[in-house]
Amino acid sequence: MESNIMRTYFASLLVAAAGLTGMTAHADDSAVAAPTAKAAYNTAETPLGDLLDDPAAKAVLQKHLPDLISGDGIAMARGMTLKALQGYAADQVTDEKLAAIDADLQKLAGK
């Protein structure tokens, strides 16, 4: 009985030590990593919520889609991309507007 308790205790210690070792290695990797450039947003892959949370990207949306962005239901679409949202608001979110938004968002990535 006592040997089972000891085995369980040592197994727990090994698991804990392995977890701490992994955490330490990960922490060291992140400390060494160089800062990355701001990722480019786009209308096909970036969720609307990410665009709305970035003041510069939100300004681009307000420029091209002011009525849509100020609408009450926009909060429900935060997880969608603008390209996906086009299926629900094709009259407002046209291919031309998406192209113009993508061009302006690309300019933000260079800043």
Average pLDDT over the chain, rounded to whole?
A: 78
Same domain membership, residue 4 and residue 52: no
Q: Is residue 92 part of a domain?
A: yes
Query: What mean pLDDT do residues 5-23 have?
Result: 48
Q: Is residue 41 part of a domain?
A: no
pLDDT tens per residue, range 48-99: 999 999 999 999 999 999 999 988 888 999 999 999 999 999 999 999 999 9
Q: Is residue 43 part of a domain?
A: no
Percent of the chain with pLDDT over 70: 64
Would the pTM count as exceeding 0.85? no
> Total domain count for the chain?
2
Same domain membership, residue 86 and residue 61: yes
Q: Which domain holds residue 1?
A: 1-35
Q: Is residue 10 part of a domain?
A: yes
Q: Which residue has the higher pLDDT, 88 or 29?
A: 88
HSE-CB of 10 using CA atoms within 13 angstroms: 6
Same domain membership, residue 68 and residue 20: no
- Rounded to the nearest 5 degrees, what angle is found at the Cα of 38, between the Cα atoms of 36 and 39? 105
